[in-house]
Amino acid sequence: MANVEIIGFAPSTYVRAVRMVCEEKGIPYDLKAAPPHAPDVTAIHPFGKIPVMRHGDFELCESKAIATYLDLAFPGPKLIPTDPRHAALTEQWVSLVNTRIDTTMVRTYLFAYIFPKTADGQPDRKTIDSVVPALKDEIGFLNSAVAEDGYLAGDSYTFADINLMPILYYIQKFPEASAAIAAAKPLAAYYERIAARPAFQKTTPPPPPQAKP
């Protein structure tokens, strides 16, 4: 059968998460670069979001659905557990990250640095300053979660961790988040440990636009 085709662009945190699943499981795949709303994307995702996937004649959208398909359809380490409680915790953390933490850390904090809507193109300090309390609260929440077992969902590495890591990769490049993560010792150790995995290393995206000084 044809390789899995992941359609999206490498800097996307959700595209990276799906690619990490392929790398962890040893799934042959091709990355076809495409931005949101590109024709190849909208042909599969009704709202033009990335990533989307083709595998032979099977097409799928939404990163969690793609990850579930890849985990069930291919051999290799299970990234979505079969134990009911462990599986439910994985779902819980994917949902928390996708519905809340992504909004705070990526759509608000990160974008205020790299895609500011300011007239002069400088980082949007008003937005950054207003979101920092929520950013620190959520970093503290994550820190508490990984402190107990070393992972988000129970005591083993799952898609919940894969789904979070691309977000932490970006935000720790900026000062407020970097300081907050450094102070959150279990989370800092968690990041360094998982960042050393080959799947994370092999999917490193191009650097984001640099914020102007």
Q: Give residue 126's pLDDT band: very low, low, confident or very high (50, 70, 90).
A: very high
Under 8 Å between Cβ of 9 and 50: yes
Burial class (CB in 10 A: 0-12, 13-18, 19+), 152: buried
46-104 pLDDT, tens digit per residue, is 999 999 999 999 999 999 999 999 999 999 999 999 999 999 999 999 999 999 999 99
What is residue 7's three-state secondary structure?
Answer: strand
Q: Give residue 207's pLDDT band: very low, low, confident or very high (50, 70, 90).
A: confident
What stretch of H or E contains 132?
helix 125-149
For residues 203 and 182, give the distance between their C-alpha atoms in angstroms, rounded to a whole number.
23
Q: Give residue 213's pLDDT band: very low, low, confident or very high (50, 70, 90).
A: very low
List the domain boundaries for the chain: 4-73, 84-202
Architecture of domain 4-73: 3-Layer(aba) Sandwich (3.40)
Task: Return the CA Rg of the chain.
Answer: 17
Q: What is the CA angle 143-99-186, rounded to 5? A: 10
What is the maximum span of the chain, computed from C-alpha positions, in angstroms? 52
Q: Give residue 206's pLDDT band: very low, low, confident or very high (50, 70, 90).
A: confident
140-192 pLDDT, tens digit per residue, is 999 999 999 999 999 999 999 999 999 999 999 999 999 999 999 999 999 99
Domain 84-202 coded CATH 3.40.50.300? no
Q: What pLDDT score does 208 carry?
A: 59
pTM higher than 0.85: yes
The Cβ of residue 82 has, within 10 Å, a number of other Cβ atoms equal to 7
Going by C-alpha positions, the residue among 177, 88, 91 that lies closest to residue 136 is 177
> Can you state the percent helix, strand and coil of the chain, rounding each to 5?
55, 10, 35
